[in-house]
């Protein structure tokens, strides 16, 4: 169980690093299901610097936190 949490965390961290490194990603949104208490408190759009780490501790979802990072692409063309 602890291993599963660690795996999920490293996957999330990897995704976050990719978004941070991608210049087309302007902002990062956190999205989660309604039955996730964590999603309800943290979901929203964050700057690359202010984005909280996922998965969050204290998620009420029985199967574990499935909150995810979603990229907000910078689609302003010069
Ligand atoms: Zn969650």
3-state secondary structure of 45: strand
Whether pLDDT at 1 is above 70: no
Q: What integer pLDDT is reported at residue 57 of this predicted model? A: 75
Query: What is the domain partition of the chain in residue ranges?
Result: 2-73
* Span from the CA of 73 to the centroid of ligand 1 (angstroms): 23
Residue 7 to residues 14, 30, 73, Cα–Cα distance (Å):
11, 19, 27
Q: What integer pLDDT is reported at residue 70 of this predicted model? A: 95
pLDDT 10s digits, 10-67: 888 999 999 999 999 999 999 988 888 888 888 999 999 999 888 777 777 888 888 8
Which residues lie below 8 Å from residue 47, measured CB to CB, with a gap of 6+?
Answer: 27, 28
- Give CA–CA dist 15/21, Å, rounded: 10
* Span from the CA of 57 to the centroid of ligand 1 (angstroms): 8
Q: What integer pLDDT is reported at residue 51 of this predicted model? A: 94
DSSP H helix total and E strand total for the chain: 2, 3
- Greater confidence, 52 or 9? 52
């Amino acid at each position: 169980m602890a291993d599963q949490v660690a795996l999920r965390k490293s996957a999330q961290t990897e995704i976050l690093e990719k978004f941070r490194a991608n210049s087309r990603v302007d902002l990062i949104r956190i999205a989660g299901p309604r039955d996730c208490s964590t999603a309800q408190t943290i979901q929203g759009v964050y700057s690359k610097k202010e984005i909280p780490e996922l998965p969050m501790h204290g998620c009420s979802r029985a199967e574990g936190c499935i909150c995810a990072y979603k990229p907000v692409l910078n689609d302003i063309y010069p």
